[in-house]
Structure 1
Amino acid sequence: MGNHHMGNYEEILVRKHLKRTKARVMIMKVLDKSLPMTAGEVYEAVRGKDTRLSLSTVYRNCEALAERGLLLRSTMLDDGLTRYEYAQGTPVHHAICLSCHKIFPVDVELEKGYERYMDREYGFEAVEPRVEIYGYCKDCRASGKDKAYKEKMGL
């Protein structure tokens, strides 16, 4: 990994015509190596490195980066919070545990030609293929938490 990344983030910001601020570089760095995080979680992660940063600054910067496509936004969980992830170029699909809210990347393929199908069947132009699969992780299944959750939801 090394630290070749720092300059790399700055170049990306320049290419997107965004000011290269320390906050933006730190946010990108944190999210690059992580699963989707809320602005609050990003703030916790960068606060140690720069105590002057406020939560609202982190949130505004996450939004600015998302506007330019450098971060992806998702609201996957029922807490309704927006989560940000670093746009890696190749879309990452996620499995999301409904019980403990763990999110992990999974390697699943969309069928070839799905874009044409979406367009033909629904008149929908697919531009960002991200799949979210909801279910129960092996820890929750082992401890029976999935059953408790299903009962609560009447599943």
Structure 2
Amino acid sequence: MASFEDILVKKHMKRTKARIMILKVLEKSLPLTAGEVYESVRGKDTRLSLSTVYRNCEALAEKGLLSRTTTMSDGLTRYEYAHATPVYYAICLSCHRIFPVDVELEKGYRRHMDEEYGFEVADPKVEIYGYCKECRASGRAKAYKEKMGI
């Protein structure tokens, strides 16, 4: 695998310390907001600001090195490393934890989307909403459902 420095050069981007730290944090993490990325990298470089992290996350997403996602109903943009194969997630409605899950889309779904709807799939994302076993066991899922009238 190529180094992050090499990847940035191939994308015609400057090889900055901030960009390399952001890529390292997101390479092995769940989707994070710019604020969460900032919290992860600020100990390594106290001169970095939240706005610098946000601008770099946006620049990396524009070049296809990160993916933007708005998982959960909070509407916050999260960034994740653009892996070669898509990663799908289960999201707990009660505690908001995000879990990677090993599921597959139906074989031939791209062709079906194109033929049936005239829609060319570019970046499939799967988000499955529900309740994690910890929330179900503790009763938080039941309390959340009652609060939401579900």
Q: Give TM class, smaller chain.
A: over 0.9
Which residue is 2:20 aligned to? 25
Q: Which moved more, 1:7-16 or 1:28-37?
A: 7-16
Q: Name the SS of the counterpart of 1:12 in structure 2.
A: helix
Which blocks of at least 5 consecutive residues in structure 1 are unaligned? none
CA distance in 2, matches of 1:120, 1:148: 43
Could you tell me which residue of structure 2 aligns to residue 53 of structure 1? 48
- Equivalent residue number for residue 37 of structure 1: 32
> 1:125, 1:31 → 2: CA distance?
28
SS at match of 2:8: helix
- Would you say 1:107 and 2:107 are equivalent positions? no
Unaligned runs of 5+ in 2: none
RMSD of equivalent CA atoms: 1.2
What CA distance in whole angstroms lies between the structure 2 residues aligned with 1:119 and 1:154? 38
Partner of 1:98: 93
CA separation in 1, counterparts of 2:69 and 2:148? 23
TM-score norm. by structure 1 comes to 0.93
Task: Give the superposition deviation at 1:137.
Answer: 0.6
- Counterpart pick for 2:145 among 131, 134, 150: 150
Write the mapping of 1:63-78 to structure 2, written as runs, cut at 5 A: 63-78=58-73
CA–CA distance in structure 1, aligned partners of residues 122 and 71 of structure 2: 19
Task: Tell me which residue corresponds to 1:85.
Answer: 80
Deviation track 1:7-42 (CA, whole Å, cap 9, x = no partner) reads 701111111111111000000000111111000000
Q: Distance in 1 between matches of 2:141 and 2:117?
A: 34
Match of 1:120 among 106, 115, 119: 115
Instruction: Measure the CA separation in 2 of the matches of 1:15 and 1:99.
Output: 42
